[in-house]
Structure 1
Amino acid sequence: MKIKSIKAYHVVQPFVDGPYRMSKGRVADCFDAVIVAITSDSGVTGWGEMAPLGNFYSAAFPAGTRAGVPEIAPHLIGQDPRGLAGIGRLMDTVFKGHPYIKSALDMACWDLTARAADVPLVTMLGGRESETAELYRVVTHGTVDQMAALAKRTIAEGCHRLQVKVGGNVRDDIERVTAVASAVPKGTVIFCDANAGWTPYQARQFADATRGIDYTFEQPCTTIEENMSVRRMLDKPMVLDESVTSLGEMLEIHRQGAADGLTLKISRLGGVTQTRLIRDVAVDLGFMITVEDTGGAEIDTAAMAHLSLSTPEERRLHAIAFHEWVTVRTATNKPPVTGSRMGIPDGPGLGIDVDPGLLGKPFFEIG
Structure 2
Amino acid sequence: MQIKSIKAYHVVQPFVDGPYRMSKGRQADAFDAVIVAITADSGLTGWGEMAPLGNFYSAAFPAGTRAGVPEIAPHLIGHDPRGLASIGRLMDTVFKGHPYIKSALDMACWDLAARAADVPLVTMLGGRESDMAETYRVVTHGTLDQMAALAKRIIAEGCRRLQVKVGGNVHDDIERVTTVASAVPKGTVIFCDANAGWTPYQARQFADATRGIDYTFEQPCTTIEENMSVRRMLDKPMVLDESVTSLEAMLEIHRLGAADGLTLKISRLGGVTKTRQIRDVAVDLGFMITVEDTGGAEIDTAAMAHLSLSTPEERRLHAIAFHQWVTVRTAFNAPPVTGSHMGVPDGPGLGIDVDPSLLGKPFFEIG
TM-score (normalised: structure 2) = 1.00
Show the counterpart of 1:121. Answer: 121
SS of 2:239 mapped into structure 1:
strand
Q: How many residues align?
A: 367
Q: CA deviation at 1:315?
A: 0.1
Q: CA deviation at 1:14?
A: 0.2
After superposition, the C-alpha distances for 1:66-106 in whole angstroms (9 at most, x for unaligned) are 00000000000000000000000000000000000000000
After superposition, the C-alpha distances for 1:281-315 in whole angstroms (9 at most, x for unaligned) are 00000000000000000000000000000000000
Show the counterpart of 2:147. Answer: 147
| Pairing 1:1-367 to 2, within 5 Å after superposition | 1-367=1-367
Q: CA deviation at 1:122?
A: 0.1
After superposition, the C-alpha distances for 1:139-198 in whole angstroms (9 at most, x for unaligned) are 000011111111111101100000000000000000000000000000000000000000
SS of 1:96 mapped into structure 2:
coil
Q: CA deviation at 1:238?
A: 0.1
After superposition, the C-alpha distances for 1:192-211 in whole angstroms (9 at most, x for unaligned) are 00000000000000000000
SS of 1:236 mapped into structure 2:
coil
SS of 1:35 mapped into structure 2:
strand
SS of 2:229 mapped into structure 1:
helix
Separation of aligned partners in 2, 1:203 and 1:25: 18
After superposition, the C-alpha distances for 1:250-287 in whole angstroms (9 at most, x for unaligned) are 00000000000000000000000000000000000000
Separation of aligned partners in 2, 1:79 and 1:90: 10
SS of 1:65 mapped into structure 2:
helix
After superposition, the C-alpha distances for 1:201-239 in whole angstroms (9 at most, x for unaligned) are 000000000000000000000000000000000000000
Separation of aligned partners in 2, 1:322 and 1:309: 16
Separation of aligned partners in 2, 1:256 and 1:308: 26
SS of 1:164 mapped into structure 2:
strand
Separation of aligned partners in 1, 2:20 and 2:281: 32
Separation of aligned partners in 2, 1:158 and 1:293: 23
Separation of aligned partners in 2, 1:303 and 1:152: 29
After superposition, the C-alpha distances for 1:313-354 in whole angstroms (9 at most, x for unaligned) are 000000000000000000000000000000000000000000
Separation of aligned partners in 1, 2:23 and 2:104: 28
SS of 1:182 mapped into structure 2:
helix
Separation of aligned partners in 1, 2:68 and 2:176: 40
SS of 1:103 mapped into structure 2:
helix
Separation of aligned partners in 2, 1:313 and 1:335: 18
Structure 2 unaligned runs (5+)? none
Residue identity over aligned pairs, in percent, reads 93
Deviates more, 1:202-211 or 1:141-150: 141-150
SS of 1:327 mapped into structure 2:
coil
RMSD (CA atoms):
0.3
SS of 2:153 mapped into structure 1:
helix
Q: CA deviation at 1:119?
A: 0.2
